Amino acid sequence: MQTHEAAERLGISARRLRHYEKAGLLEIARDANGYRRFSPSDLRRAGRIRDLIATGFSTREIQAMAPASATKGRVPARRVWPISPISWNRSIVCWRSCNNAAPPPWRASSTSVTPFRHTPKRSLPDMRAQTILLFLIAFLVGSDEFLLGPILTPIGADLGVAPERISLFVGAYAVPLALLAPFFGALSDRHGRRAVLLPASLVFALGSLATALAPTYSLALASRIVTGAGAAGMLPVAFSLAADGGDKRADRDIAAVQAGLTLGIIASPAFGAWVTEAFGWQAAFATLGTLALLPLAGTLRLGQSTPAATGHPEAGEGVWPPGAPSAILSMGLGLGGAVGIYVLVGERLRDLHQPDTESLGLIYAGFGLVTLAGNLIMPRLMTQFGSGRRVMRLCLIGVLAAIMALFAIPLSMVAACIMLGLWALLGGIGAPALQAHLASLSDARRGTLMALGASAMNLGVATWSATASTLFSHSATLVALLALTIIGTAICLLGPTRSKFLTT
């Protein structure tokens, strides 16, 4: 049978099967057309590898067990690595348990060995509740960052400062989010997602409520820093928790988190303007703070989650899992660059066709809705391509083409809207696909990697939006050349490479 059939039979992804083969744990025959063909013995071996990794073994330890099991339809590993007596003792008991065999009598009473047990599956309502919870977390983080756009003036009037100074609220929120996210991601790898998500949600809620109640500009600015610190423990952990759901649900849950973030970015400016007009700007932040209590309560219902790491880092990972540096750099260059340049879309359309503000608002709303549709399409495309890296690379090629056309060519209004639609759709597909690829690189360091990716994207947005604005004041063509440089670099980073540092 072919790879996708074997993956469906084993209940894992085709991507994971290819990882087993790349790690030297499987040697799969290929047919005349180059397609992998799995024999019954290959399926048995892949099933044992899957079960051993679920118990906490690394690929290095599984390689060390291979010669002892070569008579059970297994192929020898490329090399035999040293293994400690404790790990070997554990391996014998777990290996027998995986094959429904009782452990030897002299090992049955060992207190240092835990036989393999399958983790009970959660019910469908529980999984749906977690997906909704993660969607809400991402929605709140996105809303809090982009809420300020239309309400800078009323906030400044109440606090007695110029609206330009209120714009510092954005940086006060975004900087701690970018800087603290890797710390909280690593913390969630060690102590569990819930242990980080609970206090982070509480800090986020209290920070938003403090902003609403702040009597002075200085206190309001300090509360925004506190809110950003809470967001740093929410968004990357939400992505990691989505990826922890297993191969069958990970892509859908990651897409749901990205969709929540996108919807928050789209809806929050209109929400902030409406609430401020009706009840005052304080009510907008108070509403977000109150809504943040919902994920806080939902996180309590998750139960004590285990750390994302199901074992030790894979053999040969070192400090960076293979492919992680290129994926993280692509987040900053590709996603960060595309979002940073997106800030200038309105000015470019004004230069070309002088649309009124209402028309621009509709264009931005349409862009957001198409991006949201792309988020929801991503899981289907992942089943076709089997690799988030490949999906993101193809999407970035299309996004780059759209940006180059929009900023280098004087397009008609219809053609410009078509390019924007292509940009929005492919960006919406590619962002969660790259998140899924990053999450698949290491179970043991998933939280850290997802957080580093989020930080790289946020720093990329800040860097490239400022750079693009400076270049746009001279020429729109320079913005197109900037896109070619940074997004083109991301495309190259996501391509096949033999580099030991950037290997994918």
Give the model's confidence band at 125: pLDDT under 50 very low, under 70 low, under 90 confident, else very high: low
**270-309 burial string, b = 16+ CB within 10 Å, else e?**
ebbbebbeeebbbebbbbbbebbebbbebbeebeebebbb
Of the residues 276, 309, 342, the one at which a domain ends: 309
Q: Which residue stretches of 214-330 are H helix? A: 217-232, 235-243, 247-279, 281-291, 293-301, 324-330
Residues 340 and 476 placed together within one structural domain of the fold: yes
Residues 366 and 486 placed together within one structural domain of the fold: yes
Radius of gyration of the chain (CA): 25
Residues 134 and 28 placed together within one structural domain of the fold: no
Of the residues 56, 79, 108, the one at which a domain ends: 108
**Residue 289 belongs to domain spanning:** 126-309
Each residue's pLDDT tens digit, 82-120: 444 444 454 554 544 444 444 444 334 333 333 333 444
Give me the CATH number covering residue 236.
1.20.1250.20
Rounded to the nearest 5°, which phi and psi values hold at 155? -65, -45
Residue 117 lies in a domain: no
Each residue's pLDDT tens digit, 251-261: 788 888 888 88
Give the model's confidence band at 357: pLDDT under 50 very low, under 70 low, under 90 confident, else very high: low
Q: Is 303 left (phi over 0), alpha (psi -120 to 50) or beta?
A: left
Each residue's pLDDT tens digit, 456-471: 887 888 788 888 888 9
Residue 114 lies in a domain: no
Token representation of residue 52: 């051993």
Residues 172 and 278 placed together within one structural domain of the fold: yes
Q: What is the DSSP string of 99-113?
A: TT-PPPHHHHT-TT-
Residues 452 and 424 placed together within one structural domain of the fold: yes
Residues 102 and 133 placed together within one structural domain of the fold: no
Residues 260 and 350 placed together within one structural domain of the fold: no
Of the residues 289, 309, 329, the one at which a domain ends: 309
Residue 22 lies in a domain: yes
Each residue's pLDDT tens digit, 371-424: 888 888 888 887 777 678 888 889 999 999 999 999 999 989 899 999 999 998
Task: Give CA–CA dist 367/365, Å, rounded.
Answer: 5
Mean pLDDT of the residues in the chain: 77
Residue with tokens 């410009």: 416
Length of the chain, in residues: 504
* Closest to 236 in 3D by CA, of 449, 428, 487: 449
Residues 253 and 181 placed together within one structural domain of the fold: yes
Task: Give CA–CA dist 441/427, Å, rounded.
Answer: 21
The domain total for the chain is 3
Residues 344 and 488 placed together within one structural domain of the fold: yes
